[in-house]
Amino acid sequence: EDQVTQSPEALRLQEGESSSLNCSYTVSGLRGLFWYRQDPGKGPEFLFTLYSAGEEKEKERLKATLTKKESFLHITAPKPEDSATYLCAVLLRAQKLVFGQGTRLTINP
C-alpha cells in the first residue's frame, strides 16, 4: 500500500531557529513530490515540485530536497509568518496524488 508519513506532527520554534521537516514515503512508481503550505481556513498553497532524487528547490527561507525514500523541507531563520501546516504529496502513476498528514509549524516571536 502506498504510504506517506510526515514528521514531526507538530513543531514549535523560536524566531530565527532553523529546522527541518521530514516526508518519508513507501510507494511504487513515484512520479514526483510536491510541498504545500496550508493556513487555517484556507486551501493548500503550492510551494515546490521535486521530480528526481538529488533535486533541490529553494524559495526565500525554504529549501526542499529529495532522496529515493524521503524529502526534507528545511526552514532557515524562520519568522512568525512562516507558521502554517506544511503538507507533502507524492504523485503516483495514473496521476494519483497521496498526501501526508502534515506538520503543524509554529514560530514564536
Kindly tell me which of 79 and 96 has the beta carbon lying closer to another protein: 96
- Is 87 an interacting residue with respect to another protein (CB under 8 A)? yes
- Is 95 an interacting residue with respect to another protein (CB under 8 A)? yes
The number of angstroms, rounded, from the C-alpha of 72 to the middle of its chain's C-alpha atoms is 7
| Closest listed residue to residue 48, CA positions, set 61, 38, 60, 33 | 33
Give the nearest distance from C-beta 84 to another protein in angstroms: 14
- Is 104 an interacting residue with respect to another protein (CB under 8 A)? no
Q: 33: which strand partners? A: 50, 90
Only one of the segments 17-25, 39-47, 58-66, 67-75 lies at the binding site for another protein (rule: CB under 8 A); that segment is 39-47
- For residue 94 the three cell numbers come to 495514473
- Is 61 an interacting residue with respect to another protein (CB under 8 A)? no
Torsion of CA 48, 39, 4, 57, to 10 degrees: 20
21, 23, 25, 44: which one binds another protein (CB under 8 A): 44
User: Distance of CA 4 to CAs 1, 9, 12, 27, Å?
Assistant: 10, 13, 22, 8
Residues at the contact surface with another protein, assessed by CB under 8 A: 31-32, 34, 36, 41-46, 49, 87, 89, 91, 94-102
